[in-house]
């Protein structure tokens, strides 16, 4: 039960697509049930539409096989709340073995700042997790985060994402910043990804640190939050640094590979990540990395080992870390080698096979 995304898609959506395709080769029948809630028009309207949608989805239960596993996108937990409760209540009456398994990329409650709304979301997530029959998570960080909400034993499997684009097995040109230092960011252009922090750090590098030959390549969908995108564009123009910033928008895999190969340093100032697929991709191209110590990132990037970690939201620290790495060729090479080795562990077939084995064991199909 996962919505079918349309390009451009996120790392999490790539995960779901890969998972669906893999399961089709390992189970007798795989059906994708997708839906789309209407735009948010207030809590009452949203609640009524959500209830109606839940009861509409229940019609699928009648046609389910006697032994069925329902995989659910955790992002839609608020929409599936009633469906899950009724399914668990009637599955024995229907004499069907129906198992509910959420696939969790990132807990939404981690992103909510309002204390009351965050508490309500935490309660919803806790009920959702504890009413499941098994849980699939994308990282050790997400696993530990979910464990903290459980009051009963629920089996979990950690299945890391693979690489959407990969430099493994490819000849990577020697990197040595010449007259121009090329920095690369890849991700949605949203506040959670810290793009505004990156813009301010670029301003510091140019105006305060004298690094006037710096170009930052920003790759990602600009349509998610158009107001935010316009704000950072206006800021860069008003600060007279716009000539140092290239917004590429969404690009295809061929173009992103070219940018990975061209870059000197990968910069990712995200405020929260459940995994951080682009970090693994950048690592596969041997890029030294400057990022934050937020969410799952420190599980991938170790400060001083294969990258530099700074506090999220700290433009000054981000700028100084970039400056330090740019001036340290030996450190860049050390990080580059460590990252290429790190990226070897992220393989789709290995991770998706773990999920298949977990589901077969859960439903006693092995």
The DSSP code sequence of 45-108 is: HHHHHHHHHHHHHTHHHHTS-SEEEEEEEGGGHHHHHHHHHHHHHHTTTTT-EEEEEEEES--G
Cα–Cα dist 360/356, whole Å? 6
Give the C-alpha separation, 171 to 286, whole Å: 10
Residue 170: inside a domain? no
Q: Can you spell out the DSSP letters for 175-205? A: ----SSEEEEEES-SSGGGTHHHHHHHHHHH
For residue 174, being part of any structural domain is answered with no
> 352 and 339, same structural domain?
no
Evaluate whether residue 2 is within a structural domain: no
Rounded to whole angstroms, what are the CA distances from 188 to 86, 118, 243, 305? 36, 23, 21, 27
Asked if the structure places residue 247 within a domain, the reply is yes
Which residue is it, tokens 């199909």?
365
Let me know: does 251 contact 292? Beta carbons within 8 Å: no
**Residue 256 near residue 219 (C-beta atoms within 8 A):** yes
- Looking at the fold, whether 71 and 104 belong to one and the same domain comes out as yes
Whether 168 is in a domain gets the answer no
Is pTM beyond 0.85 here? yes
What is the pLDDT at residue 66?
A: 84
Residue 98 near residue 61, CB atoms below 8 Å: yes
Establish if 1 belongs to a structural domain: no
Does one domain contain both 310 and 329? yes
Backbone dihedral angles phi then psi of residue 352, each to the nearest 5 degrees: -70, -30
Identify whether 266 is part of a domain. Answer: yes
Q: Do strands 181-186 and 156-158 pair parallel, antiparallel, or not at all (unpaired)? A: unpaired
- Could you tell me which residues come within 8 angstroms of residue 31 by beta carbon, excluding any fewer than 6 positions away? none
Task: Indicate if 28 and 100 belong to the same structural domain.
Answer: yes
DSSP-derived 3-state class of residue 335: helix
Between CA 315 and CA 292 the distance in angstroms is: 11
User: Is there a contact between 139 and 160 (Cβ–Cβ < 8 Å)?
Assistant: yes
Contact 284, 167 (CB under 8 A): yes
Domains identified in the chain, total number: 2
Predicted confidence at residue 5, as pLDDT, reads 67
Let me know whether 186 and 294 are in one domain: yes
pLDDT (tens, 9 = 90+) of the chain, 366 residues, equals 877 766 657 788 888 889 999 999 888 888 888 766 666 667 677 677 777 877 788 888 888 888 899 998 876 655 677 788 888 888 888 888 999 999 998 888 888 888 888 888 888 888 888 889 999 999 999 999 999 999 999 999 999 999 989 999 888 877 776 789 999 999 999 999 999 999 999 999 999 999 999 999 999 999 889 999 999 999 999 999 999 999 999 999 999 999 999 999 999 999 999 999 999 999 999 999 999 999 999 999 999 999 999 999 999 999 999 999 999 999 999 999 999 999 999 999 999 999 999 999 988 854
Q: Are residues 32 and 154 in the same domain?
A: yes
User: Are 222 and 151 members of one domain?
Assistant: no
Q: Are 192 and 258 found together in one domain?
A: yes
Same domain, 82 and 130: yes
Residue 56 forms part of a structural domain: yes
Torsion of CA 122, 127, 132, 137, to 10 degrees: 10
- Same domain for 123 and 39: yes
Residues 149 and 283 in one domain: no
Look-up of token digits 């009456």: 93
Q: Which residues contact 249 (CB under 8 A, 6 or more apart)?
A: 219, 220, 221, 222
Domain membership of residue 16 as a residue range: 11-162+347-362
Would you give the DSSP letter of residue 303?
A: B
Both 157 and 201 in a single domain?
A: no
Q: What is the pLDDT of residue 366?
A: 46
CATH number of the domain bearing residue 253: 3.40.50.2000
């Amino acid at each position: 039960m996962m919505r079918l995304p349309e390009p451009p898609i996120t790392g999490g959506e790539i995960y779901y697509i890969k998972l669906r395709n893999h399961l089709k080769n390992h189970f007798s029948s795989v059906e994708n049930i997708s839906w789309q809630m209407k735009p948010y028009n207030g809590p009452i309207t949203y609640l009524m539409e959500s209830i109606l949608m839940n009861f509409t989805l229940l019609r699928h239960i009648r046609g389910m096989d006697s032994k069925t596993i329902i995989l659910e996108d955790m992002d839609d937990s608020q929409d599936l709340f009633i469906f899950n409760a009724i399914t668990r209540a009637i599955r024995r009456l229907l004499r069907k073995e129906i198992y509910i398994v959420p696939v969790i990329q990132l807990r939404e409650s981690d992103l909510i700042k309002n204390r009351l709304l965050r508490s309500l979301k935490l309660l919803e997530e806790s009920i959702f997790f504890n009413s499941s029959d098994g849980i699939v998570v994308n990282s050790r960080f997400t696993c530990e985060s979910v464990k903290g909400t459980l009051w009963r034993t629920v089996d979990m499997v950690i299945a890391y994402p693979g690489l959407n684009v990969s430099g493994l097995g490819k000849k990577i040109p020697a990197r040595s910043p010449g007259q121009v230092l090329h920095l690369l960011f890849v991700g949605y252009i949203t506040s959670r990804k810290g793009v505004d922090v990156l813009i301010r750090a670029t301003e510091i590098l140019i105006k305060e640190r004298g690094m006037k030959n710096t170009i930052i390549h920003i790759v990602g969908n600009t349509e998610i939050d158009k107001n935010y995108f316009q704000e950072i564009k206006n800021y860069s123009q008003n600060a007279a640094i716009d000539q140092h910033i290239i917004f590429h928008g969404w690009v295809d895999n061929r173009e992103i590979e070219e940018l990975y190969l061209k870059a000197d340093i990968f910069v990712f100032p995200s405020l929260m990540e459940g995994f951080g697929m682009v970090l693994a991709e950048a690592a596969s191209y041997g890029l030294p990395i400057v990022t934050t110590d937020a969410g799952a990132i420190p599980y991938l990037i170790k400060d001083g080992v294969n990258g530099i970690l700074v506090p999220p939201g700290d433009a000054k620290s981000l700028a100084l870390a970039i400056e330090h790495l740019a001036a340290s060729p030996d450190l860049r090479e050390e990080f580059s080698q460590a990252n290429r080795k790190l990226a070897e562990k992220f393989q789709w077939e290995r991770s998706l096979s773990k999920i298949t084995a977990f589901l077969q064991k859960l439903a006693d199909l092995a």
